[in-house]
Amino acid sequence: MSLVERLRSGDARALPRIISLVERGGDAGQRALTELYPLTGRAHVVGITGPPGAGKSTLINALLGSIRGAGRRVAVIAVDPSSPVSGGAVLGDRIRMTERHADDGVFIRSMAARGRGGGLAAATAGVVHVLDAAGFDVILIETVGAGQDGVEIASLARTVVVLQVPGLGDGVQAIKAGMLEIGDILVVNKADRAGARDLGRTLRQAVMPIAANVTGQIPVLYTVAASGEGVDELWVEIERHRHDLIDSGRWDEKILTAARNEVLAGVRTEIERRLLASPHDVPAITAAIEAVASRRQTAGSAVRALIETMFQGKL
């Protein structure tokens, strides 16, 4: 029996093994993905994003209770783009969350950059597909919502929840970082702290022009993740967003967007991997670098020539 057949028959040991293969990104991982890909596309992928320490893990931990209470199977991928190795705080999160929900309806996996370069979003997409094929109804992705990785990872989700907390410059940071644009639901966490209502009002104002451009409203909710307050309401809102997407036909649009981002992230990663891994093995690159260094050619024209050559399959 192949690993994927074992996954489909409910063998719990097959899941972490396939994920490891896919994370590694080699041929065996690709073969597994090809085999399981037709089984995917059903899960509700939810991104939970926000600045470091906003309470993402605590909120997810509390959400697991609401989701299991609704009888759904849920998987969590905690992605830490800043961490070079899996471990530390991320691993701590995993242990905390696993202790509380040690049943087979919950699966938690941490992923770190591990020197992957730009490949984190592509690797995360692969893991999402494995969990989807394994029949998890909901897949939560925790990520710090900053940088290219953060945005790319968020775009894998059907629903993006953006967390903000009082005392970090009152929403201005999020607005500047472009985080509000990617949010379907905004959450003011640590609502037990001073300034939470002011922050909520600022966010409501800020999303008004955004909400006018998309269908429906962008809700702003208050939670105290540490005590569970407001968390059931957040789960209701996540479910409502899923229903809205399906009823309005935007679910298929989201799938298209996710596929588009996965393809583009993959192309970027593959080009970087092939070219940057050993630039000296590619004579055209070596020649271009020398031409730019000796002032015979600008980088811009060298790059254009290289890309043209590449698309003609000459590299």
Ligand X SMILES: Nc1nc2c(ncn2[C@@H]2O[C@H](COP(=O)(O)OP(=O)(O)OP(=O)(O)O)[C@@H](O)[C@H]2O)c(=O)[nH]1
Using alpha carbons, list the distances in angstroms from residue 258 to 60, 100, 265.
Answer: 22, 31, 10
Shortest spacing between CB 39 and Mg ion, in angstroms: 29
Shortest spacing between CB 44 and ligand X, in angstroms: 21
Q: Choose among ligand X, Mg ion, none what residue 124 binds, the Cβ cut-off being 5 to 8 Å by kind.
A: none
Shortest spacing between CB 187 and Mg ion, in angstroms: 14
Q: Give me the residue whose beta carbon is nearest to Mg ion.
A: 57
Candidate list 57, 83, 124, 143; residue touching Mg ion; CB under 5 A: 57
d(CA 253, CA 259): 10
Side-chain-side CA neighbours of 141 within 13 Å: the count stands at 36
Contact set for ligand X, span 21-60 (CB under 6 A): 50, 52-58
Query: How many of the other CB atoms lie within 10 Å of CB of 113?
Result: 19
87 touches ligand X by CB under 6 A: no
Using the contact rule CB under 6 A, the part of the chain among 107-115, 220-228, 277-285, 291-299 near ligand X is: 220-228
d(CA 145, CA 59): 15
Strand-strand pairing, 74-80 and 138-144? parallel
Contact set for Mg ion, span 79-98 (CB under 5 A): 93
Q: Choose among ligand X, Mg ion, none what residue 35 binds, the Cβ cut-off being 5 to 8 Å by kind.
A: none
Candidate list 189, 202, 261, 269; residue touching ligand X; CB under 6 A: 189
89 touches ligand X by CB under 6 A: yes
49 touches Mg ion by CB under 5 A: no
Instruction: Provide CB contacts within 8 A for 183, sequence distance 6+.
Output: 160, 161, 162, 207, 218
Nearer to ligand X, 193 or 260 (CB): 193
Would you say 140 and 46 are in contact if contact means Cβ atoms under 8 Å apart?
yes
Q: Choose among Mg ion, ligand X, none what residue 225 binds, the Cβ cut-off being 5 to 8 Å by kind.
A: ligand X
Nearer to Mg ion, 44 or 56 (CB): 56
Contact set for ligand X, span 139-158 (CB under 6 A): 144
Q: Choose among Mg ion, ligand X, none what residue 55 binds, the Cβ cut-off being 5 to 8 Å by kind.
A: ligand X
216 touches ligand X by CB under 6 A: no
Would you say 166 and 71 are in contact if contact means Cβ atoms under 8 Å apart?
no
d(CA 60, CA 56): 6
Shortest spacing between CB 82 and ligand X, in angstroms: 9
255 touches ligand X by CB under 6 A: no
Residues that bind Mg ion (CB under 5 A): 56-57, 93
List interacting residues with ligand X (CB under 6 A). 50, 52-58, 89, 144, 189-190, 192-193, 224-226
